[in-house]
Every structure is written in C-alpha cells, then in structure tokens.
A and B are shown apart, each in its own frame.
Chain A
Amino acid sequence: MIYQDSKTLLEVRGLRATVNGVEILKGIDLTVRSGEVHAIMGPNGSGKSTFAKVLAGHTAYEVTGGEVAFEGKSLFELKPEERARAGVFLAFQYPIEIPGVANSQFLRLAYNTMQAQRGRDELDPLEFDDFVREKMKLLEMNPDFLDRSVNEGFSGGEKKRNEILQMALLEPRLAVLDETDSGLDIDALRVVAGGVNQLANKDNAVLLVTHYQRLLNYIVPDYVHVMESGRIVKTGDKALALELENRGYDWVSVEPRAAAGAAA
C-alpha cells in the first residue's frame, strides 16, 4: 500500500552486473518505499532472478556499475549474511537442498541469528519447536517437515512453502519473492499469499517476481514493472499486469522479440 509518510527502503540506480563476463543487468532503476508491494514481470531470461540475487549479494555476480542503497546505506558494503541480518530476504526461485541438516535446526539458527541481531531473546530448541509449529499451522504445513533435511526431497510446492515459513520467522524489512507462486497448487497459492499479506505492513515492503496475474489477485501490487534484457522497460499500476496477461510482452518491448530472446 502507498502511504503518505513512507520512507525509502530500497533505492537502485543504474545497476549493472555481469556473470562470467556476460552483462546481464544493464542499468536498473527502482525505488521501493515502506509499505509498498512491487511486482516485477518479464520474459524468461530477462534478468529477474539475477536482480534478486545481486540484491542479496550472490558472489557469482559481479556488480559493474550503479548504486543500491537499503535504508540509506550502500548494500555493496555488506556481506550477504549482513544484508540478510539488515532485513533483506530472498525467497529463492529454486531453493537448494541441504542434505544432513535438519530443517528444524536450520530454521532455529536462522531465527536466533536474527533475534540476536535485533537484541531480542533467542529460543532454545523446545521453545522454538512450539513457536515454529504455530507458524507452520498458519501456512498449513505438516510439522513432519521439521525433522527432514532442509528442502531435501521436498516437492516444488513444499520448497516454496518452506521459503515462506522462513520469511514468516525472520520478518524481513524487504522481502524479495522470486516466483514463489510457480509450482503451487490453487490452495497453496491462497495460503502462501495469505502468509505474505499477513507480514506486509507500513514499515516493510515486498518485491514479487512473477509470471502470472493469479498471484496478484491475492497480493495486490502498488506498482508493476516489466523487465527486458536486464532493464526495467515499463512501470505501471496493477492494471498493467492484467494488460500483460491479455497481450503478452511484445507491445512493451523496446527491441524486436527475437533480439530479446537472443540476449537471454
């Protein structure tokens, strides 16, 4: 929601980034203020996930130009874990499996790390167990997932729910959700969207990467951006998403469709 007294949370100016010497992000500008929900759409390979991972500080990507400020501080000066502790959360498009590490242990360490960062009490395993089970109930998640290894053998939709569970535990200032809706069945979509809406308030912000209008029926965006070949080529309100759903991307494209495909 757009508030009158909102503060600038994220300020991206002319962001460029390469991977293995290939430029993927070619000058991104974006301002996200507290309370807002932004959707980023765009064809496959246009750089949406790359943008999300660059914000989170993935070391495979080299930032070659531009600035990113988070709550007025340059993000580039922070290590990935420091960005996370500052409140930047990324729900991954493809959450990785971590065999041998119990989900409950992982969730508790992440939670307690954040609690310590915020000067709040950490929870011991028993306290945390009660706490996390409550959160899981809200997401209609089976508590059996606590005993399994992190994401190991989880179905696509289960992985996505586990991401949202982490978001609910960590209460980020800026949540970047990379195609969290992909792979979710209709009920799961409603549950997950409910989880996101519950978190959203006037002090934080959500950046949704999605291909589909159906998520935006549940989480209504204040702004919709279209990304193409590493740039944001169009910005509008929620009506833009509906229009994209009907007309596809060609009409917003700044370059011939074939060229956009080749760039990807």
Chain B
Amino acid sequence: MSAVLQNLVNQPYKHGFVTDIESDVAPKGLNEDTIRLISTKKNEPQWLLEFRLKAYQQWLKMDEPKWPNVKYPKIDFQAISYYSAPKSKKKLASMDEVDPELLRTFEKLGVPMNERAKLAGVAVDVIFDSVSVVTTYKAKLAEVGIIFGSISEAVQEHPELVKQYLGSVVPVGDNYYAALNSAVFTDGSFCFIPKGVKCPMDLSTYFRINTEASGQFERTLIIAEEGASVSYLEGCTAPKFDTNQLHAAVVELVALDNADIKYSTVQNWYAGDENGIGGIYNFVTKRGLAKGVNSRISWTQVETGSAITWKYPSCILRGDNSVGEFYSVAVTNNHQQADTGTKMIHIGKNTRSTIVSKGISAGHSNNSYRGLVRIAPTAAGARNYSQCDSMLIGDQSAANTFPYIQVNNNSAKVEHEASTSKIGEEQLFYFAQRGIGAEAAVSMIINGFCKDVFQQLPMEFAVEATKLLGFKLEGSVG
C-alpha cells in the first residue's frame, strides 16, 4: 500500500478524552447480588427484578457466540463494573444547570447540544454513562401525549407500558449478549408515541461511555401505536481507553397497525489504536417488530467506530403489508472487525423488505456483511431486494458477504446483488492531477459510494455522518 493510503487510514481518534465527573461505581463482578444492587439503586418494582434474575439464570447456561467472523480475547465478565452513575442525579430544569464539564464534553464532541436542540428542533435525551442527566423538549412532546425519556424514569412513571413491551421483541434468553443486557441494563431511552400521533420532531440521543472498565448496557424501547410515526436518532462517541470496553445494548421497536418507526444511528466509538490495542466491543441486539398491518420499521446505520462490531438490526414483518428496511454503512480501518448486517423475517402477507449495505474496509481491517432473509410459509407475495457493496482501501483489508436466504413460499420474490470495488492508485492519481489531494479524493469517492444510505438519514445527521467518515479517513497526506 502506498504511503499516501497508509497515512490516510491511520488516523488518531479525535474524541479520546475522559470527562472528570465523579462517578458512583459498583464493585466489579457479576452475581445475583450485583443485580439486586442495581435494581435497588434504581428503586425498581419486583417484576423487573424478576425479569433481570430470569435473564441472568438463562445467561449462565449460555455460551458466547462463536460464529461471527471476529476474533478477540475472552472477556472476563467478573472484571467489569456493572453500575456507574454521575453523582449529581437531581433533575435539571434548564441547560444552565448542567455540569459545565459535561457541556464542554459535548462541545469537544462537536455536539453543541443546547443550540442544536433549539435550532434543529431536536429533543435530546442525554445518556451520560448510565443515568439520564437531562431531557429537553419533554413538555412539548407531552402536549401531544408522547413519552420520551430514560427507561428508568418510564419504569417509575409508566410501569404498565414498560412491563407490557419490555422483552416482547427480544426475549430475555434471545442470545448471549441480550440475556446479559436484560440482567444488568442500567439505563437507556424509552419512547412511546400514542395512537394517531406523528412525532413533530426527530428524537435524538447521544450515548457516551465514560467510566473506564464500566460495562455499558443500554436498553431502549420504542413503541408506536396505531397510525403513529417517529424518527429516532442515536449517536455515539467514546473516550480513548487502552482496556477494551464491552458494550451490549438491546433496542426493541414495536410498530402497531399503520405505524412507522425510523431508527437512525451514527456510531463512532473508540476503535482501538493503529495496532489494534483498546477500543470498544460492540455486541448489540436491535430488533423491530412490525406487528400491525401496513406498519414500517426502517433501520439506518453508519458504523465507523468500535474495535469489534457485532450487530444485526432486524425486522420481524408480522403484519400483512408491513415493510422492513435496512440501510447501512460500515467503515473499518486499522485492526477493526465488523460483522454486521440484518435479518428480515417475513411472516405476514405481501410483506416487503429492502437491504442496502455498504462496507468500507481500510488498513488491516475485516468487514463482513451477514444477512438473513427468511420467507415464512405464511408470507404469500413477500418481496425482498438486497444490495451489498464492498469497497476496499489499500490491499490489506478484507470484505466478506454472507447472505442467507430461506424461502418457504413459492409466491415470494427475493433478489440479491453484490459488488466489490477498490479505491485504486489510478483513481487517486486522477484526482491529484486535477489538484485534489488524496484526503479529499477518498472522501468524495466514499461519499459517492454511501449516497444511497446517507439519503436515508435525516438532514442534520447526514451532515454529521459525512463529517465522521471524513474524521475517519482524513489525515496528514504525503
């Protein structure tokens, strides 16, 4: 690989800093007492404690999945601290009351939260470590009956809703990491859009892991009742650490008749250094249930960070005529490994799904797309279209595509297209000959490559995503 390309893909992480806010950290280790401690700290009802304990019992009997195309040292689950909360837990009435240190952190991250929230009309539910620190626009949303806040709050204020839907899409024993999350999740977002309500603004959450060696177990639950619609944005960055950090989130979406949920993620967690030391392990279970007729679940993700990504945002298309979408850009670089994709499970009649996956691998990284399209016998007239494109930068990176297609209904139609391309020296030379440096050239090629996915992102997020890819690939060229 040329020096130009080498420099380009070996970028230091820009968001590597630790915010100095006192944390309330649980002792390391996992057992029933840890779970009881979390539940007590959070003042939870008995049913939730039982939910956690049941998950824990199942987890004990499970093994870590071995099938993903990723390699990492064995995780010592007893060396992780399962609870950490900023000490100032009181609710804040305005942005002025927010810890200035926290605001500075957001500034460093390029998230001018206060302005952003007001100007862009985005409601931001900030998750800082595990406890929700501030929620904006809540009142305005409440006017139309939307509940948007932390899941801990929802457990206190709307226990019946949480009880009804928690674990209904991702059961406690679904997989190893989902079981772990169900046992120890500390916080996350909760969002409920009542019948017939179109959420008047995009809902947004910035996640951030802040305490070294504290596992992060977010739990998100979004429910759109009949005819409701919502667009939800999730963005992440993390400080730079040398020890790997485990992240095992669970996101559940439920769309009832004619409801529409659009979930967009831009993920930029610390990926480890250029030698593959450190970085976040991101083992996430995201699943949407298109439960009602004509409902729609749409996932858009831009994955640029983490040492290891293991993530398959999925759609269960149960309602007749329901629609599932998955638009993904996954960038890996240095020694990053990503095994990501989606599952589209067609159960209802005339269900439709679209998969557009763009994998970009640079450095020594390994980028795999793994996707399942299953057409159940009941899914007459179901249709799927999948397009999986890979782009290689340099010649030491790898891209793989693992499509699994199971069709059990003759009237279904499934189409799959795949391509692999490479940013070559000749293309970069062509740009250079027109005065355009390698950095700008790569950025332009990559943005062109990702266009179909970026188009799906809400406007402000598309800008952010373009910038993130820029961060990822920019550098001193020469």
- The interface of chain A, by Cβ under 8 A from chain B, is 56-60, 79-81, 84-85, 89-90, 92, 95-96, 98-102, 105-106, 109-110, 113-114, 117, 149, 166, 170
Chain A residues with CB under 8 A of B430: 92, 95-96, 98
Chain B residues with CB under 8 A of A110: 434-436
Chain A residues with CB under 8 A of B29: none
1/0 per residue, CB under 8 A from A, across B432-447: the answer is 1111111010001100
Asked if A109 and B433 make an inter-chain contact with CB atoms under 8 angstroms apart, the answer reads no
Chain A residues with CB under 8 A of B44: none
| Those of B173-220 within 8 Å (CB) of chain A | none
Asked if B448 and A170 make an inter-chain contact with CB atoms under 8 angstroms apart, the answer reads no
Interface residues of chain B: helix, strand, loop or mixed (majority): helix
Among B426, B435, B451, point to the contact of A85 (Cβ < 8 A).
Answer: B435
Chain A residues with CB under 8 A of B424: 96
Asked if B435 and A117 make an inter-chain contact with CB atoms under 8 angstroms apart, the answer reads yes
Query: Does B478 count as interface, using CB distance less than 8 angstroms?
Result: yes
Asked if B435 and A170 make an inter-chain contact with CB atoms under 8 angstroms apart, the answer reads yes
Known: A101-B448, A109-B444. 7 other contacts (CB 8 A): A57-B432, A80-B433, A81-B435, A84-B434, A99-B448, A100-B448, A102-B448
Asked if B448 and A84 make an inter-chain contact with CB atoms under 8 angstroms apart, the answer reads no
Among B429, B434, B440, B449, point to the contact of A170 (Cβ < 8 A).
Answer: B434
Query: Does B43 count as interface, using CB distance less than 8 angstroms?
Result: no
| Those of B12-34 within 8 Å (CB) of chain A | none
Asked if B432 and A106 make an inter-chain contact with CB atoms under 8 angstroms apart, the answer reads no
Asked if B432 and A81 make an inter-chain contact with CB atoms under 8 angstroms apart, the answer reads yes
Chain A residues with CB under 8 A of B449: 100
Chain B residues with CB under 8 A of A90: 433
Chain B residues with CB under 8 A of A101: 444-445, 448
Asked if B444 and A113 make an inter-chain contact with CB atoms under 8 angstroms apart, the answer reads no
Q: Looking at A81, A89, A90, A166, which has the most chain B CB atoms within 10 Å of its CB?
A: A81
Number of interface residues, chain B, beta carbon within 8 A:
24
- For B450, the closest partner residue in chain A by CB is A100
- For B445, the closest partner residue in chain A by CB is A101
Asked if A98 and B445 make an inter-chain contact with CB atoms under 8 angstroms apart, the answer reads yes
Tell me how far the C-beta of B431 lies from the nearest C-beta in chain A, rounded to whole angstroms.
8
Query: Does B2 count as interface, using CB distance less than 8 angstroms?
Result: yes
1/0 per residue, CB under 8 A from A, across B397-440: the answer is 00000000000000000000000010011110111111111101
Tell me how far the C-beta of B423 lies from the nearest C-beta in chain A, rounded to whole angstroms.
9
Asked if A56 and B444 make an inter-chain contact with CB atoms under 8 angstroms apart, the answer reads no
Tell me how far the C-beta of B469 lies from the nearest C-beta in chain A, rounded to whole angstroms.
13
Q: How far is the CA of A59 from the CA of B424 in the complex (A)?
A: 12
Asked if A114 and B435 make an inter-chain contact with CB atoms under 8 angstroms apart, the answer reads yes
Asked if B433 and A84 make an inter-chain contact with CB atoms under 8 angstroms apart, the answer reads yes
Asked if B433 and A89 make an inter-chain contact with CB atoms under 8 angstroms apart, the answer reads yes
Asked if A59 and B435 make an inter-chain contact with CB atoms under 8 angstroms apart, the answer reads no
Asked if B451 and A113 make an inter-chain contact with CB atoms under 8 angstroms apart, the answer reads no
Chain A residues with CB under 8 A of B429: 56, 58-59, 80
- For A166, the closest partner residue in chain B by CB is B434
Q: How far is the CA of A109 from the CA of B437 in the complex (A)?
A: 11
Q: Looking at A80, A95, A99, A102, which has the most chain B CB atoms within 10 Å of its CB?
A: A80
Q: How far is the CA of A99 from the CA of B420 in the complex (A)?
A: 12
- For A110, the closest partner residue in chain B by CB is B434
Q: How far is the CA of A174 from the CA of B436 in the complex (A)?
A: 18
Tell me how far the C-beta of B87 lies from the nearest C-beta in chain A, rounded to whole angstroms.
49
Asked if B445 and A56 make an inter-chain contact with CB atoms under 8 angstroms apart, the answer reads no
- For B423, the closest partner residue in chain A by CB is A98
Chain A residues with CB under 8 A of B445: 98, 100-101
Among B4, B433, B478, point to the contact of A56 (Cβ < 8 A).
Answer: B433
Asked if A99 and B421 make an inter-chain contact with CB atoms under 8 angstroms apart, the answer reads yes
Q: Looking at B445, B448, B478, which has the most chain A CB atoms within 10 Å of its CB?
A: B448
Given A59-B2, A109-B444, A96 and B434 touching (CB < 8 A)? no
